[in-house]
Amino acid sequence: MTDTHVHDGGAHAEGKLWGGRFTGASAPALERLSRSPEQYFSLVPEDVAGSLAHAGELERAGIITGEERASIAAALEQLVVDHREGAIRPLPQDEDVHGYLERELIARLGPLGGKIRAGRSRNDQTANDLRLHLRRVIPEIAEGVRELTETLLARSREVEGVVAPGFTHLQNAQPILFSQQLLAHAFPLARDLTRLENARLACMASPLGAAAMAGSTLAGDQRAMAADMGYDDVVRNSIDAVSSRDHVVDFLYAGAMLGADLSRLCEEICLWSSQQFGWARLDDAWSTGSSIMPQKKNPDIAELARGKTGRLIANLSGMLATLKSLPFAYNRDLSEDKHYVFDTAGTLRTILPALTGLVRTVGFDAGAMRRQAVQGFTLATEIADWLAEQGLPFSEAHDVAGRSVVHCEARDIGLEDLTAEDLRAIDERLTPEVLERLTLESAVARRTGANGTSPERVREQQAALADLLEASRSASQNGRSPQ
């Protein structure tokens, strides 16, 4: 098919679904403002899915026959193919995806194509289209998150036993296993998967049949129509069905939170790959260079992903601002919902595979991490803890440990270099037994609390994360998608 179909018969032939009560033409400026952006026409598969379900409802209501429904269904399914292959495309006068498809349907079926509009409105159509779209794209994004999380888990197992400095306030704090640091980025992503799944579940009630806002006299079995589209239920209130967008906000919040979590990982990759840290070596295929400085290897993936987080946050803020103070029921302001959804989904689908490739291929320097793990007197807490175990109040133990640091600074040595003679000079309560604690292995191994950095606890964390990922993948495979 081509895009040259012409049908004389009013506004519907022009790609508009209204116009009968108007006697004059629309102003060009209105036309430009009112027409959907090109990207909105990508909802053709979702709009056709809703039309197929609606055709079944029209047959049950006696508006069309079974034979007519079959003809409409065949034409609709062909429209999806023709649109995908570029055999048809929206014309400038097509105001939105609904008018575009109805124009094409009428061009193919004549007056029968015009029957499809009975009992529905663009208000419930657009609400339905976006719910179906979210149900399709959320699992795709979640799969990207799972792949990145699984990559972090795999890398944490590869660096088992590598000790690195942990940070607070970006200052060396205490020794940790680098495996645990990687897991500290992976667990938030696992929670992001839960948020994405909740956003998908928020889209599992059908708004179709609410029509403009009061419901349809022709939609007698909305639950059957909902089941045809793979929904679990029907939105219980017709006004709410066409005007609510909290499910959109749920997705945008999940996307913004995911972006923030990715940005934190990106920030650390930028630090790790700097000359000052020297922990990471970027793979050539997943980094870029400088146009003037030949020696440079830049973490552009991490920087670009970090920068795009601002868009994800802005999309959430923009949607919430759009919803604020809207009167019931439908208002054209709500057409902004697709802009925010498309941008967030597209941004995440671009970021995730690139960041996964970066994490999968980056090289880690265990020696550099270990050398830095004792810098900044990270073993000071070991002295305080040992004194507390001997019965000294921690307030006093903390003071003694602090004076130990001052002593080491004066001698330009580390705590790990202290001798029995040094201990006597600092405080008589420091006996040589404390020296056994002033090693990286001891500091890490003794943190055996449920979520600590000891090797056995980190292995448990890895196993727990693997279970979370398996549960997430299982839930995704069992979820239903649009028919």
For the domain 124-217+236-369, what is the CATH superfamily, name and number? Fumarase/aspartase (Central domain) (1.20.200.10)
**Lowest-confidence region among 7-11, 85-89, 125-129, 415-419:** 7-11
The mean pLDDT of 450-477, rounded to a whole number, is 95
Report, as an integer, the average pLDDT of 427-443: 97
Distances in whole angstroms, Cα of residue 361 to Cα of each of 154, 277, 356: 12, 18, 9
pLDDT at 34: 81
- Determine whether domain 11-118 maps to CATH 3.40.190.10: no
What pLDDT does residue 5 have?
Answer: 38
Please calculate the CA angle 208-41-257 and round it to the nearest 5 degrees.
Answer: 75
Distance CA 50, CA 58 (A): 12
Q: What percent of the chain has pLDDT over 70?
A: 95
**Residue (of 167, 133, 172) closest to 47 by Cα position:** 133
Nearest to residue 457, comparing CAs of 444, 466, 469?
444
CATH superfamily of 380-438: Fumarase/aspartase (C-terminal domain) (1.10.40.30)
Supply the pLDDT for residue 344.
98
pLDDT band (50, 70, 90) for residue 479: low
Among 26-30, 37-41, 295-299, 441-445, the least confident range: 26-30
Residue 23 — very low, low, confident or very high, per pLDDT cuts 50/70/90? confident
* Annotated domain spans of the chain: 11-118, 124-217+236-369, 380-438
Under the banding of pLDDT at 50, 70 and 90, the label for residue 483 is: very low
Q: What is the pLDDT of residues 153-164, one digit of tens each?
A: 999 999 999 999
For residue 423, pLDDT beyond 50: yes
Least confident range of 61-75, 137-151, 213-227, 440-454: 213-227
Q: Is residue 11 scored above 60 in pLDDT? A: no
Work out the mean pLDDT of the chain and round it to a whole number: 94
- The pLDDT value given to residue 7: 36
The residues that are catalytic are 169, 290
With contact defined as beta carbons under 8 Å apart, do 114 and 24 qualify? no
In degrees, rounded to 5, the angle at the alpha carbon of residue 13 between the alpha carbons of residues 7 and 16 is 175
Q: Which residue has the tokens 């903390």?
A: 398
pLDDT score at 219: 79
- 451 C-beta neighbours (distance < 10 Å), count: 13
Tell how strand 363-364 and strand 280-281 pair up.
Answer: antiparallel
pLDDT exceeds cutoff 70 at 232: yes
pLDDT tens digits along 209-230: 999 999 999 878 999 999 999 9
Q: Identify the pLDDT of residue 220.
A: 81
- Looking at the DSSP bridge assignments, the partners of residue 206 are 234
DSSP 8-state code for residue 26: P
- Pairing outcome for strands 233-234 and 205-206: parallel
pLDDT of residue 482 exceeding 80: no
pLDDT band at 481 (very low <50, low <70, confident <90, very high): very low
263-278: average pLDDT: 98
Cα–Cα distance for residue pair 77/75, rounded to 1 Å: 6
pLDDT band at 27 (very low <50, low <70, confident <90, very high): confident
The average pLDDT across 297-314 equals 97
Q: In the predicted model, what is the mean pLDDT of residues 359-378?
A: 98
Q: Which pLDDT does position 56 carry in this prediction? A: 96
Contacts of 2 by beta carbon, 8 Å cutoff, 6+ apart = 87, 88
Half-sphere exposure of 144 (CA within 13 A, CB side): 22
pLDDT at residue 19 is higher than 90: no
Cα–Cα dist 427/16, whole Å: 87
Average pLDDT score over residue span 317-333: 96
Per-residue pLDDT, 451? 97
Please give the pLDDT value at position 18.
63
* 116 half-sphere exposure, CB direction, 13 A CA radius: 34
